[in-house]
Structure 1
Amino acid sequence: MELKVHLVFDGTCEEALNFYSKTLNGKVDFIFRKKEDKTADVAEADREKVSHMIIKTPHFELAGEDADTGSTVIAGNNNKLVLVFHDMNECRRVFDAFSQGANVAMPLQPTFFCEGLGELTDRYGISWLIMMSDEGYQA
């Protein structure tokens, strides 16, 4: 069984997934614009929007799309993506990058169960828990 994450954006899908790909050492695997769908009647305002985009990182893939004009996107309040690291330097690097323009709810800090845990909603409205693995951790 696999878990795949698909996010819906308000027009920033390509920007967001390119940022995530760069920050998480990934690559864009697939991008399909709404205008390329020959089976759908696409509004002029939506033609350049992303219909489906996938990035692949060394550990997971992430997919997304842009909502159609007139659709309401309520970002960040119904999910959290959890990134678990085994290297504190990499954990800190990613947290610092994601913190730019973000609403940081909890700075990256040691907890009773892991070396570092931070929580934020990034500049694209996605909520993240970024943490070190708790495997073998002793406070």
Structure 2
Amino acid sequence: MTLTTTLHINFDGQAAAALAFYAEVFGGTVTAVPYGDTAEVPHQRDQIVWGEMVAPSGVHVMAYDIQRSLSYDRGTNPFYLALRGPDADEVRSAWEGLSQDAEILAPFGPSAFSPLYGKLVDRFGVVWIVDVIAPWNG
């Protein structure tokens, strides 16, 4: 059996837009189930009860809109989503897509541990660290 881990992001009404954005950046496919297709939360009919974006490159993000009956706090640095790969062109393309309307925390460029590294907060408030995988020579 093979196990994987996938980032699951909780949103407050932005899950569909975030999944569509990530699909655009990574060339992925979105599957999303609105609350309206369930009897669970009728007052959130158009919001997402379960969703994911899967790209051919292997990038996989899950997301949903948290039920209004639960408290929602995006928090401060609750996680970073690390996007890493060996192909500099592929990593650079992902950075360029994610950086649309983003707050850049560390500009994309050489670092002490990677030929290319950057950190940003995307337009949905998700913190991404993006880098080219390189062997550590330290």
Structures share a fold, TM > 0.5?
A: yes
Q: Please, which runs of 5 or more residues in structure 2 have no aligned partner? A: none
Q: Counterpart amino acid of 2:59? A: F
Aligned counterpart for 2:11 among listed residues 6, 9, 12: 9
Matches within 5 A, 1:89-104: 89-104=89-104
TM-score by length of 2: 0.86
Answer yes or no: is the 8 Å Cα contact 1:85–1:132 preserved in 2: yes
Q: Deviations over 1:42-87 (max 9, x none)?
A: 242x111000011111213211101233632315620001001222
Return 95-104 or 121-130, whichever deviates more. 95-104
Tell me what 2:22 maps to. 20
1: CA distance between counterparts of 2:65 and 2:77?
Answer: 17
2: CA distance between counterparts of 1:75 and 1:48?
Answer: 25
**Identity rate, percent:** 25
2: CA distance between counterparts of 1:83 and 1:76?
Answer: 20
Q: Counterpart amino acid of 1:2? A: T
Q: Please, which runs of 5 or more residues in structure 1 have no aligned partner? A: none
2: CA distance between counterparts of 1:97 and 1:61?
Answer: 16
Q: Deviations over 1:15-44 (max 9, x none)?
A: 11111112112111x211111113x2x242
Tell me what 1:48 maps to. 46
2: CA distance between counterparts of 1:121 and 1:27?
Answer: 22
Matches within 5 A, 1:1-139: 1-28=3-30, 30-38=31-39, 40=40, 42-44=41-43, 46-58=44-56, 59-69=58-68, 71-74=71-74, 77-135=77-135
TM-score by length of 1: 0.86
**Change in 2 beyond 3 A, CA 1:76/1:83:** farther
Return 17-26 or 68-77, whichever deviates more. 68-77
2: CA distance between counterparts of 1:72 and 1:126?
Answer: 15
Q: Counterpart amino acid of 2:29? A: K
